[in-house]
Amino acid sequence: MATLILFLAATPTDEAQLRVGQEYKEIGAKIQASRYRDNFELVMGPGVSIADIQGLLLQHNPNIVHFSGHGDQDAIVLEGPDGKAQMLSERSLSGLLEIVNRDGNIRCVFLNACYSEDQARAISKSVDCVIGMANAISDDAAREFAGSFYQGLANGRSVKDSFDLGKNILSAWNLPDEQVPKLLSKSSVDPSSVFLGKQKDTGRSKASSGSVQKPTPSAAQQPSAQPPAGTSPAASLSLPGTWDATGTVQMGFVRGTSVSRYVFYPSLDYEETGALNGAPYYGSGRYSFDPIRSVLALQDWRSPAPMLYFLSNVSSQGFTATAPDRVLELRRVS
C-alpha cells in the first residue's frame, strides 16, 4: 500500500495569509517527479478546525501528518467556524496524536509552522519522527524546505537524509532560515534508518474495502442536460451543466495535454471524457464545492481519495482549477 500523507492546512482570515495551496501543489509535484512516486498518496484537508482534525486523522489513518499554517510556542492555529483563528494547544495536539497512533501507523509528523519545536518534542514521545520549527520561518523557506524533504522521501532516502536535504536547499537559495527546522524522534528511533514509501506494506488500512458502483444518471442527467429551469448564474460558482476543460497534466518528468468535457449533474455526480496524449479516457464519480475556500473535490469511483483543486478566476461561466499534477481551464458549455 502507498504511504499516505495527510496535508492539513489552515489560513484563518484574521492572520497573515500563507500560500498553503502552493505548498501542497509543490509537494505533489516533487513527489510526482520522483523515483517512488507511486508509493505515495497525498490527501488534502483544507481549512482545518478543531472539529475537523480528529475525524480526518481517523478517516485517513495516515502514515505522515503534515500541518501547514501558523503556530506559536503553545499551539497551532486552526480555523474556527467563522474563519478566524482557533488555537489547538500543544497538550491537546500531542494527546490526540498519542491516542490515534496507538497502532504505530503514523511514522512522521511535520509541523510546518512557526515556533512549533516544543510541540514537536511533545509529539515525539508517541511518533517516531517529528519536524518542528525552532523560531519564525518565512513562507518561502517553509515551502522550499517541505518540497525538498518530500522529494528526498519519494526518492528512497531516509527521514534524516530528507531533512538534511531540506536544510541544504535553504542554504543553496541563500534563505536565512536554515537553522530553524528541527528533527526530533523517540529515544529508541534513529531517523537515519526510517524509510517511508519503499516498503511493500505500510500497514495502513482502507476505510472501505468494498467496490463502489457508479449510479446510472437519469435521462434528465445525461450530458446534454441543461441546468434546472429558472436557474440564474450564482454570485459564486454554479456547477451543474456541461463544461469544457483544457490544460496540462504532469506525469513524472513528462507533460501531456488533456482535453476534457465535464458534466456536473445536480445530483452531485460528474462524468469526464476526453483524451490524454491521444488516448481516450473516461472518469466518473462525485463532486463537492466549497465556495468559501474555493476548493473543488472530485472523487473518482476508482480512486481511494478525492482530487482537490484550488480554484481561481472564478465566475459563473468559468474558473481555473489547480491540483499538484495539473492545471485546467474550465468554461461552461451549457
Name the CA radius of gyration of the chain, rounded. Answer: 21
pTM above 0.85, yes or no: no
Instruction: Give the integer Cα–Cα distance in Å for 29 and 322.
Output: 12
Cross-strand partners of 298: 287, 307
Higher pLDDT pick, 333 / 54 = 54
| Secondary structure letter of residue 304 according to DSSP | S
Q: Return the pLDDT at 260.
A: 80
| Secondary structure letter of residue 237 according to DSSP | -
- The pLDDT of residue 302 is above 90: no
Q: Return the pLDDT at 151.
A: 94
Instruction: Give the integer Cα–Cα distance in Å for 264 and 281.
Output: 17
Instruction: State which H helix or E strand residue 57 sits in.
Output: helix 50-60
Q: Return the pLDDT at 269.
A: 82
CATH numbers and ranges of domains, the chain: 3-193 (3.40.50.1460), 219-332 (2.40.128.280)
Q: Return the pLDDT at 253.
A: 56
Provide the sign of the torsion angle of the four alpha carbons 307, 161, 123, 207, taken in this order.
positive
- The pLDDT of residue 232 is above 60: no
Tell the residue number behind the cell numbers 542554504, with chain if given. 171
- The pLDDT of residue 46 is above 90: no
Ranges 96-110, 275-289, 307-321, most confident: 96-110
Residue partners of 84: CB distance under 8 A and separation at least 6:
12, 13, 14
Q: What percent of the chain has pLDDT over 90?
A: 44
**Average pLDDT over every residue of 230-239:** 47
Please report the beta strands in the chain, taking only residues with DSSP state E, as ranges in sequence order. Answer: 3-9, 40-45, 64-68, 71-72, 75-79, 85-89, 108-112, 129-133, 181-185, 241-251, 254-264, 269-276, 279-290, 295-300, 307-315, 318-323, 326-332
Q: Return the pLDDT at 291.
A: 67
Instruction: Give the integer Cα–Cα distance in Å for 49 and 38.
Output: 30
Q: 193: burial class by Cβ within 10 Å (0-12, 13-18, 19+)? A: exposed
Q: 159: burial class by Cβ within 10 Å (0-12, 13-18, 19+)? A: buried
pLDDT tens, 76-90? Answer: 999 998 889 999 999
The model's confidence at residue 328, banded by pLDDT at 50, 70 and 90, is confident
Instruction: Give the integer Cα–Cα distance in Å for 228 and 220.
Output: 9
